Amino acid sequence: MRAFLCAGLAAAMTSCSPFALRQAQGDAMGAALPARDAGAKRATSRIPIQHIVLVIQENRSFDDFFSTFPNADGTAGGYMENPSGTGDEYVPLQKVDLVGACDFGHSYRTVAIDYDGGKMDGFDLEGGGKKCPGAVGTKVYQYVDPTQLAPDWSIAQQYVLADHLFQTQGSGSFTAHQDLIAGSTLINQPKNTQSLVDFPSLRPWGCDAPPGTVTSLLVVRKGHVREEYQHGPFPCLTYPTLRDLLDAKYVSWKYYSPPEPYGTGSLWNAFNAIQAVREGPEWKTNIARTNVFFSDVTNGTLPSVSWIVPENPDSDHPGNHSDTGPSWVASIVNAVGASSYWQSTAVVIVWDDWGGLYDHEPPPFFDKWGGLGFRVPMMIVSPYARRTNPSQPGYVSHTQYEFGSILKFMEEVWGLGTLGTTDQRANSIIDCFNFAQPPHAFAAIRAKYSRSYFLHRPPSYLPVDTE
């Protein structure tokens, strides 16, 4: 039996931490995250960045999109436990189309299965969703045809590709999007003995959820972590986010996201779950539909910090029957690159979770809150993006990052202090820049679909993710 089975799979879901096999490393990270520190100083006054745009795509592992990218830590294949129990068998990664039928499982409960005590050979046991029922077998051992990712690869070739960004928590999209505004999902500060995991029981995910909606928790009891499935609070939360630090320093921000399909008038938006925003005046002033980003760039009203979430068809989500994701990313980059904002902006593109897709690189450590999770891609676009050498564009960063690394860089740029969550322990992405070099001129990213296509298409009213 596999190492993740404590006393049968059902027991593993409720009482076993999937990270128990590396508990010593988790203990080293601490049972609770550090207290908030308001005394952090601005990293340097020579940072010429005045705008950061964080683009959040969906459900792709690093190997799925960039396993064959030159000089990156990719792989040609992985390992799967032989059904006979006689050991692992090698599985070559198969080249597939970007558009696929399966939406693979990717929850906290499956992380330990995929990880399998560090062997990274359990991905074949993921589920494939309604259209691919049962265990997926070798389907998740795949990489997307690079010709269908041409805009993404062009961006990576010209700017920075990070090949060791790990999810802050091994879980799905709800907590990943929270980690990208808060650095963690600890809900009972200052005790720090409970953290959200996975996703709320009903949608939409946030303060607009129907009455009776609950969340799931990771809870520390007597030094051990257990999952309490759907025993957590209503998803209208009060923990601090980067919004608090930005507001305290009068740094402008906006969250751009698509309309959601449940008739509440809200958006698919991480701040929908933050009570101070959803029930305060900033819901009308700082929250906007996705395509408003383009008019803000054109009109010269781009805020200092932007989060931008795509429509479901543009999100790269497996199983959404669309190939528009890479072009949508290119439209964001091209809008900034062709504007007056180019020389003062960094565009950071991330994928929120691994989507159940194979990745060969095990998480480097485990804390007590389900992290780190698996690798996801990150690209950084800026006129000051680091280069391999002055005459050769493009750089592959092998630095270990997590989502808190992006928040940490934002804190450094504006001297915000720190949230005191994973932003404190994380390596900043500042080493992906070279502010001493002359700014690079922008060259447009070629793409199959134009900005006009996205601006004139009606909303899908589909949730960006459901897990």
**pLDDT tens by residue, 171-203:** 999 999 999 999 999 998 788 899 999 999 999
Q: How far apart are CA 255 and CA 291, in angstroms?
A: 11
In a domain, 35, yes or no: no
Beta pairing class for 345-351 and 375-381: antiparallel
Please, which pLDDT band fits residue 45 given cuts at 50, 70 and 90?
Answer: low
Average pLDDT over residues 419-448: 96
Find, among 293, 330, 297, the residue nearest to 314 by Cα.
Answer: 330
pTM (2 decimals)?
A: 0.92
Ranges 3-7, 18-22, 395-399: which has the least confidence: 3-7
Residue 11: per-residue pLDDT: 38
In a domain, 42, yes or no: no
Residue 232: per-residue pLDDT: 97
Number of separate domains in the chain = 1
Please, which pLDDT band fits residue 391 given cuts at 50, 70 and 90?
Answer: confident
Contact 120, 81 (CB under 8 A): no
Lookup result for tokens 């128990």: 20
Does position 29 have pLDDT exceeding 50, yes or no?
no
Residue 29: Cβ-neighbour burial (10 angstroms; 0-12, 13-18, 19+): middle
Does position 9 have pLDDT exceeding 60, yes or no?
no
For residue 70, cis peptide bond before it (omega within 30 degrees of 0): no
Does position 25 have pLDDT exceeding 90, yes or no?
no
In a domain, 3, yes or no: no
Q: How far apart are CA 203 and CA 307, in angstroms?
A: 21
Q: How far apart are CA 278 and CA 206, in angstroms?
A: 9
Residue 193: per-residue pLDDT: 93
Average pLDDT over residues 57-63: 98
Q: How far apart are CA 137 and CA 297, in angstroms?
A: 45
Residue 325, both tokens: 């994701």
Does position 222 have pLDDT exceeding 90, yes or no?
no
In a domain, 149, yes or no: yes
Q: How far apart are CA 244 and CA 286, in angstroms?
A: 13
Residue 392: per-residue pLDDT: 86
Range of the domain at 84: 9-22+47-456
In a domain, 29, yes or no: no
Residue 199: per-residue pLDDT: 97
Residue 30: per-residue pLDDT: 39
Give tens-digit pLDDT for 79-108: 998 877 778 999 999 999 999 989 999 999
In a domain, 241, yes or no: yes
Ranges 113-117, 166-170, 189-193, 431-435: which has the least confidence: 189-193
Distance of CA 48 to the CA centre of its chain: 25
Beta pairing class for 142-144 and 94-96: parallel
pLDDT above 70 coverage of the chain, percent = 90
Amino acid at 289: R
Average pLDDT over residues 1-29: 40
Find, among 461, 402, 466, 50, the residue nearest to 257 by Cα.
Answer: 461
Helices 150-158 and 325-337 cross at an angle (nearest 10°) of 40
Q: How far apart are CA 248 and CA 102, in angstroms?
A: 44
Check which CATH number belongs to the domain holding 227 and give it.
3.40.720.10
Does position 337 have pLDDT exceeding 50, yes or no?
yes
Amino acid at 463: P
Amino acid at 375: R
Distance of CA 282 to the CA centre of its chain: 24
Does position 77 have pLDDT exceeding 50, yes or no?
yes
In a domain, 463, yes or no: no
Average pLDDT over residues 147-162: 98
Q: How far apart are CA 135 and CA 77, in angstroms?
A: 19
Instruction: Give the C-alpha distances (Å, rounded to integers) separating 433 from 159, 168, 350, 385.
Output: 10, 22, 17, 5
Residue 366: per-residue pLDDT: 94
In a domain, 189, yes or no: yes
